[in-house]
Structures are given as C-alpha cells and as structure tokens.
A = this chain, B = another copy of it.
Amino acid sequence: MPRSRTNSSPVSELAIELDRDDGEALHRQVEVSIRERIRSGALPAGIALPPTRALAAELRVTRGVVVEAYAQLVAEGYLTSRGGGYTHVSPTATVAPAATAPPPPTRSAAADPIVDFGYGRANLAAFPRAAWLRSVRRVLTETPDERLGYLDGRGAIELRTALAAYLNRVRGTNATAETIVITNGYAQAVSLLLGVLAAEGGATVAVEDPSASDDARPIADALGMKVVGVPVGDDGVRVDALADLDADALILTPSHQWPTGGVLSPAARAEVLAWSQRTGALVLEDDYDAEYRYDRAPIGAIQGLGPDRVAYAGTASKTLAPGFRLGWIVLPPRLVQPFAEAKLLADRGSPILDQLTFADFLSRGEFDRHLRRMRPIYRSRRDALLAALAEHLPELEPAGIAAGLHLVAWLPDDLDEATVIAAAAREGVAVAGVSPYRLSPAPRGGLVFGYSNLEERQIADGVERLARAIAGGP
C-alpha cells in the first residue's frame, strides 16, 4: 500500500473529461471517473482532492455536481471527509489488482488433435434442442409461481416421479419418487454421498482398479477417507478380492466397467450383495452409460436386487449433455434424509427450471425417442471403429464392446502404452491409456477409445493414423 499522504496539499486538477451528451448525470460522471482513478492507483491512498469549488471551476460545472460526487464516494468509502478540511482518498482504498487471475481449471485440456478419441466428448451436435425448447416453454407457461421458490432438497417431485418410472422400466431399478434425490450430475452425487458416509464414521472407500476414481478420490481425500482398489478382471470387479475387503463403501460400474467394459456376472452380483450384507458396507452403482447397448440384452441394475444395500447413480451427461448437470441417485431409504439435508446444505437444491423441463421431456417420451435415434448412430460408429482396428491394428484386442460409448483395446506385450500414446499424438490422434485409471501397476497396456462424437470417416482416419504411428515405432 502506498505510504499515507493525508497531510499533503491537494492535487491541483483531475482533468476529468465530461461528456455532456452522454445522458449520464454529470455528478455521476465525475464520481465514476474519480472512482476509477482510485482503483487504478492513479489517485493513491491518502492523497487530498481539489476543493469542490476549484474542481467545479475546472470542470465548468456547478459546485453541487462535485459535492454530490464527493458525497457518494465518501458514502462508499473511497473518500474521507473531515468537516472543513480537504477531502482525501481513503487510506484503505486499495489499488485494483491487475486482471491476472490464473488460467481456468477445466476438466480436460488437450491440444487440438485431428482425431480425438477422448471419452466424455458427448455427441453434443445431437442434443435435441427443439424438443428441449418445447419442454422449457411448457414449463414456463404452466408451472405455478410457488414452484419457483425455495426447493425440496430431494428435487422436484415431477422429475423424481418421471425418473422412478423410467429407471424401473429401463434399468430394472427399484426406485420410488421418495427414494430419488436429484443432483448436479454424478460428481455431486458421489461427493454428497461420501460426505454422508464420512459423517456416519465411514473411513474407507473401495473403487475398482482401474476406474475413473478422479470423481471420488479428491473428495475422499478432503474428507479424510482412505481409498483402496479392488482388482478388475474380464468380467468387472473380481469378487474373490471381496473376502478381505474392509471398506464402508464400494463404488462399482457393474453394467459396463469403466474403462475395461466388463459386465459383472449374475453370480458376481450376488457375491457383491452378500459382501455388502455381511459387512454393512454400501454399494454405489455408477450406471454411467447403460442407455447404450448393442449386442446383448439389457442387464438390470444391481440396485433392483438390493435396494437397501445399493445406491444407484445416473446422469444425463452421456445422453443429453454434460453441461446440463442433470444427475440422480436412488438411495436406500435410511440415507434419503441425510443425503437430502447434505444437498440442501451444499446448494439448496438443483435449479428448478432444468428439473421440470427434464421431467416434461421424460414423461412425454422425448428421452426415449432421443435414445432410439442415437443407438443406431453409436452402433455404426462402434462398428466402424472395430472394423478399422481389425484391418489396421489386428494386434490390438478390443474389449467391452457390447455397450456404452467407448471401448478398450489391449496392447500386445511389445507395445508400451505411453510410447504409443505419444506417437499417436504426433500423428494428430488423441487417445487415452488405461494406466492413468489404475491404482496399482499392471502388466498390460491398453487404449481407451471414445467414439460417440466422431463420424465414421473420422474414426477410420484416426485408426489409420494410429497404425502409422505404431508402425513408425518409438
């Protein structure tokens, strides 16, 4: 802070430029100009301003204009005035910070590849804007005023009702409007749920290894909870590892393991539930992409088998758009109240307009219509990816292909994952490895291909580039 100069003589003039055609009152123009100079540091703390009469003469305005401007700035604390003496810049009026905030944290920050197989790049071009707008219009036209007020922590009853019907029908869940809470996407669901478990004394969270534990891990860290990994085999989490597992919660992707794509067998599902019943631990079922399946019958959610042991979390990020932040969680009844209280405490509930719009969209069948339209598109893209891999990279072994919006291709032993990814980047292809999702090292490398946001020719081009990159060697 500049040294105080309260006792110095006043600055002689301020050279304020007034725009008499501006429409803005003159006293306001004077006020704005002085405020900006104080902020920029041009008028440092402690300095004395010209007497009102002098400044009025300089600016050719009436003295009242300057008096009014000074008075306002005194009221705001920029200036201090001790009756009779000069008006000074307040000693506490600090200089404006340079606009040098750090760059924004974003979820993914890649360069600009030519073909980007990154996952999470939903097919945003397919978002059904017209149908969504129709739902918004209906909601804004028909919703009673009082529904725009403070919210139920569980979310809008219309959306909870529509979701329960949808999930029970399509995902085999056992949900009612009373056991669903609406969240801002999956991220908030896992954040609040771990908070509730920690408050109950929960100390350990188990996650699949590999898994997308970037949602859960920093939250667990912040809550002082330990994160342990449970190994994943070809069919999802390896239930033989549950025997010795001491955890308060187990986060699973049973219908399509992320990232390896395995599907938990009926016997393994029963084992998971038996473990949960034996230990009292909660299972968090992350059903992140179950809407898309291609070559197999739908597998119902584990939650339907054990609704008092399993919390089921879903999201519209993969089906509509991540930016909508629409998520939901079906909870064991005993957890509904503490979870809804945690939601209220965190943000007083999710925005009502989005909730009511999605409820309308669901209950009019628009969501089903959208999914029916997208499934053949994604299936074709997957088929194009598989065909290109078979043609150009037959040494890779695709897995987890029957569902979802991505697949893993395992690398042969002589190809190093990091080397392949770096070579691919040089050929303009962005593709992720499995390793970053692992908690413990594993022998085999693999690549994660998201295909939902790429057209078939882009997919073919990307795989050809990748093949060139691999052929070129390290």
Residues on A lying within 8 angstroms of B by beta carbon are 1, 35, 39, 71-72, 74-80, 90-94, 96-97, 99-102, 104-108, 120-122, 124-125, 127, 129, 132-133, 136-137, 140-141, 145-154, 172, 174, 176, 178-179, 183-185, 187-188, 191, 195, 199, 218-219, 222, 266-267, 269-270, 273-274, 277, 297, 299-300, 302, 304-309, 321-326, 332-333, 336-337, 340-341, 344-354
List chain B residues, Cβ under 8 A from A352.
321, 323-325
List chain B residues, Cβ under 8 A from A344.
105, 107
Across the interface, name the chain B residue whose C-beta is closest to A296: B75
Nearest CB on B from A190, distance (A):
10
List chain B residues, Cβ under 8 A from A336.
101-102
Alpha-carbon gap, A337 to B102, bound state (A): 6
Cβ 8 A contact of A149, one of B97, B176, B305, B321:
B321
- 5 A-B pairs (CB sep. < 8 Å): A75-B300, A77-B302, A97-B174, A105-B337, A222-B345
Nearest CB on B from A51, distance (A):
19
Judge whether B78 and A305 touch: CB under 8 Å.
yes
Alpha-carbon gap, A269 to B80, bound state (A): 11
Cβ 8 A contact of A351, one of B104, B133, B184:
B184
Give the number of copies in the complex. Answer: 2
User: Told that A94-B273, A101-B178, A325-B349 touch, could you supply 4 new A-B pairs with CB distance under 8 A?
Assistant: A77-B300, A80-B270, A94-B309, A187-B348
Across the interface, name the chain B residue whose C-beta is closest to A73: B300
Cβ 8 A contact of A323, one of B151, B176, B267:
B151
Across the interface, name the chain B residue whose C-beta is closest to A77: B269
Judge whether A345 and B90 touch: CB under 8 Å.
no
Judge whether A350 and B148 touch: CB under 8 Å.
no
Nearest CB on B from A336, distance (A):
5
Judge whether B346 and A92 touch: CB under 8 Å.
no
Known: A133-B140, A178-B99. A323 touches B149 (CB 8 A): yes
List chain B residues, Cβ under 8 A from A302.
77
Nearest CB on B from A235, distance (A):
12
Alpha-carbon gap, A74 to B100, bound state (A): 59
Nearest CB on B from A432, distance (A):
15
Of the listed residues A149, A184, A300, the one surrounded by the most CB atoms of chain B closer than 10 A to its CB is A149
List chain B residues, Cβ under 8 A from A333.
97, 100-102
Known: A92-B305, A347-B191. A270 touches B99 (CB 8 A): no
Alpha-carbon gap, A102 to B336, bound state (A): 8
Judge whether B96 and A307 touch: CB under 8 Å.
yes
Judge whether B349 and A97 touch: CB under 8 Å.
no
Judge whether B76 and A176 touch: CB under 8 Å.
no
Nearest CB on B from A9, distance (A):
22
Judge whether A124 and B146 touch: CB under 8 Å.
yes
Judge whether B350 and A94 touch: CB under 8 Å.
no
Judge whether B140 and A340 touch: CB under 8 Å.
no
List chain B residues, Cβ under 8 A from A77.
266, 269-270, 273, 300, 302, 305
Cβ 8 A contact of A348, one of B100, B125, B185, B353:
B185
List chain B residues, Cβ under 8 A from A93.
305-306
Alpha-carbon gap, A143 to B101, bound state (A): 26
Known: A132-B140, A172-B35, A348-B184. A106 touches B297 (CB 8 A): no
Cβ 8 A contact of A76, one of B129, B277, B304, B337:
B304
List chain B residues, Cβ under 8 A from A349.
323, 325
Of the listed residues A146, A150, A195, the one surrounded by the most CB atoms of chain B closer than 10 A to its CB is A150
Of the listed residues A90, A93, A219, the one surrounded by the most CB atoms of chain B closer than 10 A to its CB is A90
Nearest CB on B from A38, distance (A):
9
Minimum-distance CB pairs A-B, first 3: A323-B352, A76-B300, A101-B178
Across the interface, name the chain B residue whose C-beta is closest to A341: B105
Nearest CB on B from A251, distance (A):
16
Nearest CB on B from A111, distance (A):
15
Judge whether A141 and B153 touch: CB under 8 Å.
no
Known: A104-B154, A354-B354. A90 touches B325 (CB 8 A): no
Of the listed residues A125, A308, A324, A349, the one surrounded by the most CB atoms of chain B closer than 10 A to its CB is A349
List chain B residues, Cβ under 8 A from A299.
75-76
Across the interface, name the chain B residue whose C-beta is closest to A327: B347
Alpha-carbon gap, A218 to B153, bound state (A): 15
